[in-house]
């Protein structure tokens, strides 16, 4: 009995130590989540302006009449690239598995033939997963900051747009988990390249439901020069926004996972403590019974 109580006490101490770790990790993830949410809020104002300009240009049909930008190529789609954003580490709940499952479903629907697509992996989990599956991982980037900077993403965009310009692939989708709130997320697969005038015109039409878009422009300098500046910024804003959004959801998922682990540890500690108290009470009762029996034997 004493050995059993010792084992239970050891498990209690071990679980308490684990609980301290998960509780600390929850606080760290929550702090990172608050920090990246503040940054995302400020960035949304910038990206909305960039998108509004590009939508205006699309509604003005300037994108249709201009093909000088290498981001607008209308060449036939022979190879599709999927930029899949995952984390570099574990302990983020179902975050990675959800992204990979929904991305695979989207790929199967859009490009069922494996020879017709490649993966650009942002995050080690996705890179390792697709390599194990034998998928062509044409580009991978590991070590994205907990609160990524715009300069960090600019290097990614430069590499990706260069690959597109060199016809390594003909269209690009960005696949990630969108942060809705601290307990909810949704999968997104957004087309980034080429900058499609039809898609942008559709977005512009949606935007007019709430805001009237002025589609008349007097451009100085030329439309070509304006687009050469605006379209790269548009591509950068899409990728950075997706990575920022995905990182926000990663921190939320990590915080929720660590909270769940902490709560489970509390429940386990409670159960073990109850088991320990019962074992201790039984041991005391047995000891009292033995003492009482010994006294009675001596008295006889």
Q: How high is the mean pLDDT in each 10-residue block of the chain (300 residues)?
A: 72 90 90 87 76 70 56 78 92 91 94 92 94 93 88 87 89 92 88 71 49 55 68 80 90 90 91 84 77 66
Nearest of 5, 9, 43 to residue 238 by alpha carbon: 43
| d(C-alpha 162, C-alpha 73), whole Å | 13
| d(C-alpha 292, C-alpha 289), whole Å | 5
Contact 223, 152 (CB under 8 A): no
- What pLDDT was estimated at residue 86? 95
- What pLDDT was estimated at residue 112? 87
- What pLDDT was estimated at residue 62? 59
Q: Indicate the domain borders of the chain.
A: 2-17+257-299, 28-254
- What pLDDT was estimated at residue 46? 77
- What pLDDT was estimated at residue 209? 46
Contact 99, 86 (CB under 8 A): yes
| Tokens coding 27 | 């606080």
Nearest of 209, 171, 175, 163 to residue 55 by alpha carbon: 209
Do 2-17+257-299 and 28-254 have matching folds?
no
| d(C-alpha 102, C-alpha 264), whole Å | 28
Angle at 29 between CA 24 and CA 32, to 5 degrees: 130
Contact 80, 117 (CB under 8 A): yes
Q: Does domain 2-17+257-299 have CATH number 2.50.20?
A: no
Q: Classify domain 28-254 at the CATH class level.
A: alpha beta
- What pLDDT was estimated at residue 220? 64
- What pLDDT was estimated at residue 210? 43
Q: Provide the whole-model pTM.
A: 0.80
- What pLDDT was estimated at residue 81? 94
Nearest of 189, 149, 130 to residue 36 by alpha carbon: 149
Nearest of 25, 80, 14 to residue 262 by alpha carbon: 25
């Amino acid at each position: 009995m004493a050995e059993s109580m010792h084992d239970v006490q050891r498990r209690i101490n071990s679980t308490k130590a684990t609980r301290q770790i998960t509780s600390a990790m929850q606080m760290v993830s929550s702090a990172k989540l608050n920090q990246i949410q503040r940054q995302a809020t400020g960035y949304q104002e910038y990206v909305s302006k960039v998108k509004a300009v590009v939508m205006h240009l699309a509604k003005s049909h300037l994108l249709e009449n201009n093909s000088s930008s290498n981001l607008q190529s209308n060449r036939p789609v022979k190879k599709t690239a999927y930029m899949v954003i995952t984390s570099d580490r574990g302990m983020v709940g179902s975050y990675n598995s959800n992204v990979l499952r929904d991305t695979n479903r989207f790929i199967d629907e859009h490009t069922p033939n494996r020879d017709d697509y490649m993966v650009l992996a942002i995050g080690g989990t996705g890179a390792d997963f697709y390599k194990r599956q034998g998928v062509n991982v044409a580009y991978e980037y590991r070590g994205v900051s907990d609160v990524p900077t715009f300069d960090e993403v600019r290097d990614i965009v430069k590499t990706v747009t260069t690959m597109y310009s060199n016809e390594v692939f003909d269209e690009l989708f960005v696949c990630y988990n969108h942060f809705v709130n601290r307990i909810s997320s949704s999968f997104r697969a957004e087309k980034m390249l080429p900058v499609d005038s039809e898609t942008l015109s559709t977005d512009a039409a949606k935007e007019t439901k709430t805001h009237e878009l002025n589609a008349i422009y007097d451009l100085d300098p030329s439309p070509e020069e304006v687009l050469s500046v605006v379209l790269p910024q548009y591509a950068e804003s899409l990728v950075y926004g997706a990575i920022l959004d995905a990182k926000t959801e990663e921190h939320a998922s990590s915080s929720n996972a660590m909270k769940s682990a902490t709560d489970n540890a509390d429940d386990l500690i409670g159960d073990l403590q109850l088991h320990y108290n019962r074992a201790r009470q039984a041991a005391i009762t047995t000891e009292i019974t033995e003492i009482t029996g010994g006294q009675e034997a001596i008295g006889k």
